Amino acid sequence: MDKQNKRVVLVTGATGGLGTAMCKKLFEDGYHVVGNYRSKEKSEPWLADMKKDNCHVELFYGDVSDFDSTAEMIKKIETDIGPVDTLVNNAGITRDMRLINMTKDDWNAVISTNLNSVFNCTRNVLQGMMDRKFGRVINISSVNGQRGQFGQTNYSAAKAGMHGFTKSLAMEVAKFGITVNTISPGYIATDMVMAVPEKVLNQIVAQVPMGRLGGTEEVAHLVSFLASDKSSFITGANYSINGGQHVH
């Protein structure tokens, strides 16, 4: 398939552990992959590493917690590359602490980056998807948005909010050939998780019935499936991928 005929996939938070795996898998599966970044310091070495792996991903700057910045980024992507066919809302941060110690800024930063970004990005690509009668919106939530987690009222609230967003939007756009789904990973072997002290890591693994962390490529495989034509009758769903840590 010629490059210009490939579907364009935008992955937000592309330079993180999960984002990197998603970009590689989507590229491998034939998509035209576009990544979003906010830190130039991180983006340049990331692009160099991707090039070494023969993975071609184009990066565009945008603060997805800000509506105007997001709109500008998506306009540039659609001008330079083409319409966004699939959106993976993957950007996220943490500011973990008990609520009694949490400041307004701690709350707002997480809600803005993890939840408002989902609105900001989706709102700016949705009309085009509706006009073309095709689209995929894939929201990356978390097991802690399903069950809660001590010290994560802000993060859990944002990730739980994704589920309501997904279900409601899925109903609104199904007739336009657009699917909207959520993935809720448990503990995944990203660089951030692997950097915790060994004792803490062992305690985390002990909570997982499968006795191991998930692989970033396992989440990426699910993202690629939900982006494909093979998933066209799946919408409004949440996929738990947590090794049995939370079943319901």
* Three-state DSSP state, 93: coil
Other beta carbons less than 10 A from residue 223's beta carbon: 27
Residue entry with tokens 């199904």: 174
- The two counts, helices (H) then strands (E), for the chain are 10, 7
**What are the helix (H) ranges across the chain?**
17-28, 40-52, 67-80, 104-111, 117-132, 144-147, 153-173, 191-194, 198-206, 216-227
Residue with token string 């408002």: 116
Question: Which residues, 6+ apart, have CB-to-CB distance to 215 below 8 Å?
Answer: 188, 189
Ramachandran category for residue 86: left, alpha or beta (phi over 0 → left; psi -120 to 50 → alpha): beta
Of the candidates 31, 37, 155, 187, the residue annotated as catalytic is 155
Q: How many other CB atoms are there within 10 angstroms of residue 64's CB atom? A: 27
Q: Please tell me what DSSP assigns to residue 188.
A: B
Q: Is 155 a catalytic residue?
A: yes
Q: What six digits make up the tokens of 187?
A: 């503990």
Cα 216 to chain center, whole Å?
Answer: 12
Which phi and psi (to 5°) does residue 233 adopt?
-105, 10
Spacing of C-alpha 68 from chain mean position = 20
Instruction: Point out the residues that are catalytic.
Output: 155
